[in-house]
Amino acid sequence: MATAATDRTAVPEPAPHVLVVPYPAQGHTIPLLDLATLLASRGGIRLTVVATPATAPLLAAHGDAVGELVLPFPSHPAFPAGVESAKGLSPALFGALIVAYAGLRAPLGDWARERSGGPDRVAAILSDFFCGWTQPLAAELGVSRIAFSPFAVYGTAVLHSLFRRMPQREDGDDESPIGFPDLPGAPAYPWRQLTLLYWTYRDGDEVSEGVRRNFLWNLEASSVVSNTFRRLEERYLAAPLADLGFRRVRAIGPLAPDAADAASGRGGETAVSAADLCAWLDGFADDDGSVVYISFGSMAVLQLPHAAALAAALERTGVPFVWAVGTAAPLPEGFEERVAAAAATASRRRGKGRVVRGWAPQVAALRHRAVGWFVTHCGWNSVLEASAAGVPMLAWPMTADQFVNARLLVEEAGAAVPVSWGGIQAAPEAEEVARVLEAAAGGQCAHVAARAKELAEEAAATVSDGGASRQELDELVQELRELGSEPKE
């Protein structure tokens, strides 16, 4: 009998195997990869991340911490051939991308079933909430699925509330208020500030119904993991929310790199290196906080009226700036040339600007002492990166969850000043943008800047050893380990 006992313990059980399914958009993939790397660093679990040929390069920044499974991007008649991600995609195709990507369900199911009887069997699925189709996949495989949200808990709940309750506007009025009665404070937003995914819903349409089904599946997940932190969203983490299926929400953020990793390539290739941009910002080292960093994210294509208002305001105020405009955003004719000419002739500290065409090393820029304000669309990754860096925001939401995030920052967190609430439909006047820039640069919003510094301290504390987010992370690791040790049916 002693020999038999020794034989049973000689070969330890392999670590539980977790299948990680990101959604192919920069703002979704990057934080889930960051989370996967953190989970792997805790030990005791193995992770395999799903990618397609276009998104696989993003895994390179994460070394050997996780395995990868690269599958062909699935074809779908509603989605253009040759496109594999949301980067540069027309907003009108966002819903079609969600539905097309669900085509991975069958090949992933085959892959998992081939391993069901061995040491590489899938013990759990951790997937982006835009991949709700992994919920029925998990049910087929007999495993638990944990939904990951790269959004705020507040924004995640608002999105799911829409597709759960299907509220309608009155008489086609874009200003018609849409209420969210099951959320703390029962907030309401005008119709025009809701996500395009909901605006474009059409009853009976294949893509629309597929998008709705995607979000309803999330309400069946075993739990939700959100890239947020408790001090920022205490109100929405205090009790389970009906709009998230009353599921447990683990706040494990902010998933933003620390100062030592700010120059890493986690976001892919940049149009300018972190070293080059920081060297340029060093020219303002004796004028801390004087530079305004500007970016509207990797997916948004800024409309010309908005870009023109901002460009005119920058030239009018002479505020030093770095503007990461992306590759497709239109700028007023002659603006870039005038910026370049001013850089060659202006004094070292005033009237100096820089335009970056393409992806910029945003984390490194926000961590630089010369950057004092951030003009942002309030995408959640940008919000967390600014919060971790202690940079106050000039909020200019356009669509999606951005109005919800902006309201949270301005009205609850006190770490942002609004530029415009008009969204993609209405650009502000250049005079109004200039007024906001001058107030920020002139020290009239010092209380907001102070609150941003406090938020950074809170963000740092929550991800330090013993902090609330790290405790939640360790509990998630334990949950995954236990799922892997459950008896096999």
Q: Rounded distance, CA 300 to CA 397, Å?
A: 10
Which percentage of the chain shows pLDDT scores above 70?
91
Closest CA to 379 of 31, 20, 24, 37: 31
pTM (predicted TM-score): 0.92
Q: Rounded distance, CA 136 to CA 145, Å?
A: 9
DSSP H helical ranges for 318-372? 335-345, 362-367
Of the listed ranges 165-179, 284-298, 459-473, the one predicted with least confidence:
284-298
pLDDT value at 423 more than 80: yes
Closest CA to 310 of 213, 407, 398, 419: 419
**How many Å is the Cα radius of gyration of the chain?**
23
Report CA torsion sign: 186, 190, 193, 195. positive
Kindly state the average pLDDT of the residues 154-170.
96
Helix 134-141 × helix 206-218 angle, to 10°: 60
Confidence tier at 485 by pLDDT (50, 70, 90): low
List, in sequence order, every residue forming a beta bridge with 147; answer none if it has no partner: 127, 224
The C-alpha torsion from 183 through 151 and 240 to 49, rounded to 10°, is 160
Cis peptide upstream of residue 397 (ω within 30 degrees of 0): no
The two tokens of residue 213 are: 């089904």
Higher pLDDT, 195 or 6: 195
Report CA torsion sign: 151, 183, 249, 252. positive
Closest CA to 370 of 275, 262, 284: 284
pLDDT in tens, 253-287: 999 766 555 555 555 567 889 999 999 999 997 78
pLDDT in tens, 437-457: 999 999 999 999 999 999 999
Q: Which helix (DSSP H) or strand (DSSP E) does residue 244 occupy? A: none
pLDDT in tens, 22-65: 999 988 999 999 999 999 999 999 999 999 999 999 888 776 78
With b meaning 16 or more CB within 10 Å and e meaning fewer, what string describes 428-460?
bebeebbebbeebbeeebeebbebbeebbebbe
Q: Rounded distance, CA 163 to CA 209, Å?
A: 10
Q: Which helix (DSSP H) or strand (DSSP E) does residue 18 occupy? A: strand 17-21
Look up residue 261 and give its amino acid. Answer: D
DSSP output for 177-188: EEE-TTSTT--E
Confidence tier at 330 by pLDDT (50, 70, 90): confident
The two tokens of residue 378 are: 């309030």
Q: Are 45 and 67 in contact (CB under 8 A)?
A: no
Are β-strands 177-179 and 144-149 bridged in parallel, bridged antiparallel, or unpaired?
A: unpaired
pLDDT in tens, 53-110: 999 998 887 767 899 999 999 999 999 999 999 987 888 899 999 999 999 999 999 9
Look up residue 112 and give its amino acid. Answer: A
List, in sequence order, every residue forming a beta bridge with 50; answer none if it has no partner: 69
Q: Are 30 and 39 in contact (CB under 8 A)?
A: no
Helix 26-42 × helix 468-485 angle, to 10°: 70
Confidence tier at 8 by pLDDT (50, 70, 90): very low
Look up residue 378 and give its amino acid. Answer: C
